Structure 1
Amino acid sequence: MKPRYERPGVPGGTTFTCFTRRDKAFGFAWHFHQEYELTLITVGSGTRYVGTSVEGYLPGDLVLLGPELPHTYASGERSEAAVTQFRHDFLGAGFFDLPQFAAIRSMLNESARGLYFGGARQELRAEIASLPRLAPAVQTVRLLGVLQCLAADGVASPITGAGYAAAPSSAVRDRVDVVCRYLQEAHTEPVVLDEVAALVHMAPTSFSRFFRRAIGCTLTDYVNQLRVETACRLLTTTALPVTEVAARSGYRNLANFNRRFRELKAMQPSQYRAAHQVQPVKPAGLR
């Protein structure tokens, strides 16, 4: 139930790994590793989980994740991503301490919360997508250039909330990850505090304090993130009425659904559907 620790392999002839990930679908595989990870989605859409953040992604989604930040991508369709993983010293110990790389050093520090580059230029995204196809020496030079461009453009925004920080101990992190994995699967059903607290052998009151202190938001806030993201996916990929979207997302009260949706997306569900010009597919059995 806890996130899997990964140790990415490094090909011979280089000091970092750069590859294209292709799958019929990205399955939920909660994990973390000691490497920074730069990921560009090139094909497919789904949900991105980083720390306590739950957000949808589309082709062009570009993020930089710091070491030991739990994350995963989940989709129900063919997906592809250009992924680069590297350690802080992949260019040598102290390399990023040099004064000319101050901007990159600052960006790497900020990536502890994850960074989303929504305004990155299309040319830069194309450069990142091409990295896996290059020879190691050229890859290294291009990657350094990409990092400098991302740091200099100033288009990054943090992914996780201001209250989030990597858990200070493996015991704390394991508890949080047990709960997050459970909620990813169960959030469309009623979520009972006592039952969630029991997963990590804590009293409900103690668990509530623990959860907020560990990840920077309440259990209710996190569940609402999961439910609203599920609603967003249904709104843009089906023709279900909003009332049915609310029910399938875990909301038994339409007014509460509309209120929570506005809080997180700054618009009504119907406005969100209209703003995302995805041709809806009517679910089987719906007339």
Structure 2
Amino acid sequence: MKLHLLDRSNTTATISVKLNSYPNFLKIWHYHPELELVTILKSKGTRFIGDSIQKFQPRDVVLIGKNLPHMWLNDANYFKENSTLKAEAISVHFKEDFLGTEFLDLPEMKSVSKLFKKAAQGIHFKSVSKKLRQDIEDLVTSSVFYKTHLFLDILYRLSIHKNYKLLSSRGYTISLQKKDAALSSQVVAYIFKNFNQEISLSSVAKIAQMNTSAFSRSFKRVHRKTFSKYVNEIRIGYACKLLQENQLNIATIAYESGFNNLSNFNRQFKNIKHVSPSTYLKKHIN
């Protein structure tokens, strides 16, 4: 899974609003210097934000920070040859300083400034009101002046929204800020591509152009967790997505998520989610 930079430098709009409507979203692991506010209108699938793997569905509202890698991957039935399904979302791209370099320093903008900092990890806003989602949709057809006014109001309301979840880990975000961020992204991209297979520490260290012990120490320092725990968290995140779909039994899910035996899967799942896979399944299908 190669990481792509999407260049929008030829866009003259201060706030770029687009209604995306396709048979399926593009399967591109990418990043860009703009923040992005995404509202899902139609379709379901798996959302990759940094090192977070979670399901997405209609009415999801997500704010993605600048240069944070992400991808929206629709479920398999969206890619069938005769599928009539639609993937629709509104995406709003904007720079932090879209209203000027000093605008965020104003006292009135304190909560929005904090919102942008949280967005570095990606934010999933839960239980967003119908009115707020409608206002985001209205951005598509608004005039230039009203669009700016309405979007600022939307940002403020999101900044005081209490029900939200940060997506990517703090350690992943820190790794993006390092001088070797490009190399770190290559490592993470390799892990995402191969997490459901056996991944050796030595193979990943080779990508990082380091010996195994040095890579292990560096990884733990940057991500604030061991390499093995990082991989297991990604595997369990994917397992949660499969459990929520409720189409495979637990043993199959363990294998599909990269675990060679069920007992290790159960142990790692409970360590990370603090419940057993069966308890997690009952909670999310009722």
TM-score (norm 1): 0.85
Question: Could you tell me whether the CA contact under 8 Å between 1:2 and 1:177 is conserved in 2?
Answer: no
Deviation string for 1:198-238 (max 9, x for gaps)? 12222111111222223333222222233223323333335
Aligned equivalents of 1:133, 1:268: Cα separation in 2 = 47
State the match for 1:53 in structure 2: 52
1:20 aligned residue: 19
Q: Does the CA-based 8 Å contact 2:29-2:71 persist in structure 1? A: yes
- 1:115 and 1:109 map into 2 onto residues whose CA distance is 10
* Matched residue type, 1:3: L
Query: Are residue 216 (structure 1) and residue 211 (structure 2) matched?
Result: no
Q: What percent of counterpart residues are identical?
A: 30
Structure 2 partner of 1:8: 8
Residue of 264, 267, 270 corresponding to 2:278: 270
Q: Whole-Å Cα distance in 2 between the matches of residues 2 and 211 of structure 1?
A: 20
Shift of 1:17: 0.4
Q: Which runs of 4+ in 1 moved over 4 A?
A: 9-12
Structural RMSD (CA): 2.5
Residues 43, 229 of structure 1: CA spacing in aligned structure 2 closer, same or farther, 3 A cutoff?
Answer: farther
Q: Deviation of residue 179 (structure 1)?
A: 1.7
Match of 2:266 in 1: 258
- In structure 2, how many angstroms separate the alpha carbons of the residues matched to 1:131 and 1:234? 34
Counterpart of 1:165 (choices 160, 174, 178) is 174
- Letter aligned with residue 18 of structure 2: F
2:235 is equivalent to residue 237 of structure 1: no
Alpha-carbon deviation of 1:181?
A: 1.6
Q: Which amino acid aligns with 2:56?
A: Y
1:187 match = 195
Rounded to whole Å, the distance in 2 between the matches of 1:262 and 1:26 is 33
CA distance in 2, matches of 1:28, 1:202: 30
Change (3 A) 1:268 1:23: farther
CA distance in 2, matches of 1:236, 1:103: 34
Which residue of the partner structure matches residue 284 of structure 1? none
Following superposition, the deviation at residue 184 of structure 1 comes to 1.7
Aligned residues: 276
Please list the CA deviations of residues 228-285 of structure 1 after superposition, one character each: whole Å capped at 9, or x if unmatched. 233233333353221122112211121221122233334332333333349xxxxxxx
Q: Distance in 2 between matches of 1:224 and 1:7?
A: 33
Q: Is 1:40–1:81's contact at 8 Å kept on the other side of the alignment?
A: yes
The C-alpha deviation readout for 1:91-139, integer Å capped at 9, x for no partner, is: 2332222222222122222322222212432321232233223332222
- Given the superposition, is the C-alpha separation of residues 245 and 121 from structure 1 closer, same or farther in structure 2, using an over 3 Å criterion? same
* CA distance in structure 1 between the aligned counterparts of 2:241 and 2:176, rounded to whole angstroms: 30
2:132 corresponds to: 124
5+ unaligned residues in a row in structure 1: which ranges? 279-287
Q: 2:212 and 2:145 mapped to 1: Cα distance?
A: 54
Deviation at residue 2 of structure 1 after TM alignment: 5.5
Deviation at 1:85, TM superposition (A): 0.9
- CA separation in 2, counterparts of 1:72 and 1:103? 27
- Aligned residue type for 2:212: P
